[in-house]
Structure 1
Amino acid sequence: MNTTEATVSRQLKQVEDYFQFDIFETIGRNKRLTKMGGIIANKLGMRLDGLEDIVNGLSSDLDQAENTEIRIGAREEILALCANRIKTQCRLKLMLLDGAATADLIRRQALEIGITASECESYNYTRKCLFVDDLRLVIPRKWINSAKCAEDWAKTCDTYPYAQYSADLPYFDHFRSMYGLSNMGRCTYSCENWNLIRGRVEKQLNWSLIPSIFLAATVKHKHRDIVIYRLKRPLAPRKFYVYFKRSLMAKKWFRDISSQINKSIPTGLNDNCFF
């Protein structure tokens, strides 16, 4: 054991000093436990057996994590926001799905984690509101002219083309109504990916209405080519929910994944939204 006799004797003496009574007795050249030493050894043995069970359980849990595939379903930009940087021993399968398809797979229990604006009533999942798509008016800086707020700029928006997420979402109809506009510019780009729409604005091609959560990186880096305005009141905000399969929540490694997703959401824009 690469330990000298003197070292062992010193360690045994330290044990006796700690418990403050004789634990060993010498019989000839041998040592054996005293009655009290036997009691302590049994007690410690029970504790160590429990510790061994914990270690074995953790090892088993880790082995299970390494052999488990976790399917996460959501839209592409949401996966990029919430799932691309998850650290885990599990095998992650990121599934690019629209909201309806994500909700359908949740109902069929074919996902371990799903993120969607659709509400799915299922006892087999725990649900948490992940974020609200609070919209902001986002404009190429070169189109601002002398506008100081969203209301100022809305008066000139019919001059410029906009990009929309989906014609099915009434965001621009609500925007027109909110600011009493008779006309708006034409839509020249439609895509169900907020990151691509933000890219269009950054390239000075369109203005748009974009959820603040997908602008956090832009704000953090103080992008010089766009201006972000808060609207005078919330514009049809939608809640996005994350669904975690309930049967896996007892697993520490799965709870760790869920924690990483919950913490992945950046803080929203502050009250001063002009850049």
Structure 2
Amino acid sequence: MGTSLQAINNISPGRNLDAYMQSVATIPVLSVEEERSLADRLYFDGDVEAARQLVMSHLRFVVHVAKSYSGYGLPLGDLIQEGNVGLMKAVKRFDPTMGVRLVSFAVHWIKAEMHEFILRNWRIVKVATTKAQRKLFFNLRSRKKGLGWMTNDEVNAIAEDLGVDAKVVRQMEGRMASVDTAFDAPESDDDEQAWAPVHYLEDKSADPGMMLEDSNWEEDSQRRLMSAITDLDERSRDILSRRWLQDDKATLHELAAEYNVSAERIRQLEKNAMKKLRVAMEA
């Protein structure tokens, strides 16, 4: 792993994206034992080197998640960088005593950072995304006679010349006329002239009371869940973990063979354990 880690330190997604993705793909995936050892060193001893190795070994997963957001028209390198920030936050907060793999915990932090980046940067209205739309866009700009909306005769003439439907021409005209508006007001000395949606849309999530209540509810729910899982017998905990919390989920038949019982018995144990968790969460 040493050579791969040294190579990745010299590049970033913003410099050479292809080289970056090739480099992270060469970093070996950690085994369960290796990940647990590193996580323990970080969690109990504050080992910074262990944290670095945990981050490096999961960079390929960030790339995988970032590719699923390619449809938003934002640079893949920027999405990867934001996801890496989420990965580092996850590694810092990861508790190995919970009995789950780091990737299952980190995916929420990685996606949260990417979502935030998309909300800040995504242009809601795309003027032209296909080759045909780009052709219409440039032709329409050169043929418009003024700044106002075109008449029906003008629309029909352009549609006939370009071999498209008049409705398509109208749609493109609307896209060209639209602009994105920031949710927050721009900085200005004249607040009365600074229009923005933030002045008219109520943001209930900003209520300090609601935020505190939600935070307390989440903390209480997590506490109850962890307590309920701890109260389960070792076999039930193992079944739930391997059936629900791991990426490579075990089948009923695999667990049945390990515990020398029937698959139906494993299903019953799983069902009973889930029932105990629900009761604890609803109490």
User: By the TM > 0.5 criterion, same fold?
Assistant: no
> TM-score normalized by structure 2?
0.23
Task: Tell which structure's C-alpha radius of gyration is larger.
Answer: 1
Q: Which one scores higher on RCO, CA 8 angstroms, separation ≥ 6?
A: 1
**TM-score, normalised on structure 1?**
0.24
More strand by share: 1
